[in-house]
Amino acid sequence: MSSAARSANAEPHAPVRSVESRHAGGGGEAAPLVLMGARRRAPWLLVEVDGSSEAHLALVWALREAARREATVVAVGVLPGSDGDLLDGPTRLPVAEIDALRDRLDAALCRAVAETGVRGRSRSAVLERPVFDALTAAVRGADLVVVGAEGKRLLRPALPRPRLRHVARGA
C-alpha cells in the first residue's frame, strides 16, 4: 500500500511522518511527527426521484457529479404526506405501498446507473414528507439543527445571508 493510500485511510488526527523525516537517514534519533489536518468529508447529493423525466435527468447529473467529486448520491423517494395538519400525527401507509415505492426508486436508480456507468456511488432511501420538507427548507435558507447522541450541529445555508444595511446614527 502506498503512503498516500495509508494516510488517506488513517484517522484524521493520526500522526504521520513528514517527507523530510523519512529521507533524513539520521542516526538512532526518532523522526519528528507532523499532524495532518482532518480531511474534508465526501459530499452527499440528495435527489428526489418522483418518476418524472426531470427527476431522471437530475439523477443522471448527480451520478456523474458524484464520480467527479467522489461523492455519494442518495436517491430519495418521498412518502405521500397527509393533506391535513402536520400536527395531526403520523399516518401509516400500507407496507405494500412503501415496498412499491422502494421498487420504483431502485428501478430508477438502476436505469440511471446503467446510463452513466457510475457504479458504487449511490444509495436509495424512502423518507417521510416532514423529513424531506425540513431538508428542503434548509436548502432555501432555514437553519437546520441536527441533534443526536454525539451532540448537536447547526446546518446553515452555504451562501451567506444578505447583510442588513445599517443606518448611520443621527441620519
If pLDDT is split at 50, 70 and 90, which confidence band does 8 have?
very low
Tell me how far apart the alpha carbons of residues 63 and 148 are, in angstroms, rounded to a whole number. 29
Q: Is 32 left (phi over 0), alpha (psi -120 to 50) or beta?
A: beta
Tell me how far apart the alpha carbons of residues 125 and 121 are, in angstroms, rounded to a whole number. 14
**Among the CATH numbers 3.30.70.870, 3.40.50.920, 3.40.50.620, 3.30.420.40, which is that of 44-82+89-143?**
3.40.50.620
pTM (2 decimals)?
Answer: 0.62
pLDDT tens column, 143-159: 888 888 988 888 765 55
Closest-CA residue to 59 (of 107, 98, 108, 99) = 108
Mean pLDDT across the chain: 76
H helix or E strand, kind and range, residue 35: strand 33-35
